[in-house]
Amino acid sequence: MHKKLFIPGPVEVKEDVLQKMATPMIGHRTKDASRLQRSVSEKMMKLLYTNNQILLSTTSGSGLMEGAIRSCTRKRAAVFAVGAFGKRWYDMAVDNNVPADLFEVEWGTPTTPEQVDEVLSTGKYDLITVTHNETSTGIMNPVGEIGKLLKAKYPDVIFCVDTVSSAAGAKIEVDEWGIDVCITSTQKALALPPGLAICSFSQKALDAGRQVENRGYYLDLVKLYDYIQKKDHQYPSTPSLSHMFALDYQLDNILAEGLEARFARHKEMADYVRAWANKHFELFPAEEYASNTLTNIKNTKEISVSDLNKKLAMRGYTISNGYGKLKDKTFRIAHMGETTLPEIKELLANIEDILGL
């Protein structure tokens, strides 16, 4: 039996979208490939509210995160982490010989503009990374406010944002917020199979990248950018055309739903799960910064999360345990992608039944 995924990626993929992955192949150096990749890029620009160039990468979100910090850090990067995925960016910097410092906060709390201001006022950094939606803790950071700070006081600093688990589930206004590299991947709120990463790439990020000597090869974002300018949206190596067929189709579905309606649906599910969590357990993150795409719930009743998941599996559902050091201390319910409120209600009713709540 297929177990319906309520985990924060991969998520359920609609049957018709899955079918698009089986589209017959085309040559990757053809006009059809150019047309497909241009179409995906134009739709992604709408989704991210940007006029910046979109880059597609046959990796996952982590691929473009590594590419961004390596390609665009000239002097030193400040990595702001509110959980495991934020810290991943620091490990990538270290492993690539990119000078970087890590600024962590207690799990469950956000990165604030005040913290960013304090760090940047040292003048040591020319690039920062911030996680929009930290999947390990369930925090959604105030990226718009941080962007406002950068525009006002640090206009030369490159602003890299991880929106892997929020893009297509929450409004992210790349141009308005001044995000230079906005990264996501297919298997979360976009509701496609894993295997393709997407980012927007600003002129400022491009100019910074040109000053960096060793940007690597496969994940050199400047090379990707230059190549698609020269070759009409084609890529230096063979990309996952299957993902692009499916993404092009799924973006039509997303735009047809309406972006505001889609974000409202996510918010409605989040509100419902949060209220449920507050009734039976507690929320892990500070509530005013709680994510709209997943809810991280404190295991105040000390239930066995793995037993719960085994029993849910027999009924055809899967949720997530706490991430890393939060294993068994919290559990996570994702409400992203094509998931609907009735499905969330059905899941929670089953959890109540199993736990005797």
Report the interface residues with ligand PLP, using CB under 6 A: 8-9, 60-62, 85, 131, 133-135, 162, 164-165, 185
Shortest separation between residue 3's beta carbon and ligand PLP, angstroms: 19
Tokens of 295: 């809810």
Do 299 and 335 touch, CB atoms closer than 8 A? no
Place of tokens 């009743």: 301
Q: Where are the beta strands (DSSP E) in the chain?
A: 4-5, 53-57, 77-81, 100-104, 127-131, 133-134, 139-140, 158-162, 181-185, 197-201, 282-283, 294-298, 317-318, 320-321, 330-334
Residue with Cβ nearer ligand PLP (33 or 296)? 296
Residue with Cβ nearer ligand PLP (154 or 296)? 296
Residue with Cβ nearer ligand PLP (134 or 248)? 134
Residue with Cβ nearer ligand PLP (141 or 299)? 141
In 3D space, the residue among 133, 107, 104 whose CA is nearest the CA of residue 286 turns out to be: 107
Residue with Cβ nearer ligand PLP (50 or 59)? 59
Residue with Cβ nearer ligand PLP (131 or 292)? 131
Shortest separation between residue 223's beta carbon and ligand PLP, angstroms: 20
Do 354 and 313 touch, CB atoms closer than 8 A? no
Shortest separation between residue 294's beta carbon and ligand PLP, angstroms: 9
Shortest separation between residue 1's beta carbon and ligand PLP, angstroms: 26
Sheet order of strands, 127-131 included:
53-57, 197-201, 181-185, 158-162, 127-131, 77-81, 100-104
Shortest separation between residue 133's beta carbon and ligand PLP, angstroms: 6
Residue with Cβ nearer ligand PLP (33 or 135)? 135
- Look at residue 148 and give its three-state secondary structure: helix
The span from the CA of 211 to the CA of 72, in Å, is 8
CB-facing half-sphere around the CA of 33: CA atoms within 13 A: 20
Shortest separation between residue 27's beta carbon and ligand PLP, angstroms: 27
Cβ neighbours of residue 49 closer than 8 Å, sequence gap 6 or more: 171, 172, 173, 174, 175, 176
Shortest separation between residue 138's beta carbon and ligand PLP, angstroms: 11
Phi then psi for residue 321, to 5 deg, are: -70, 170
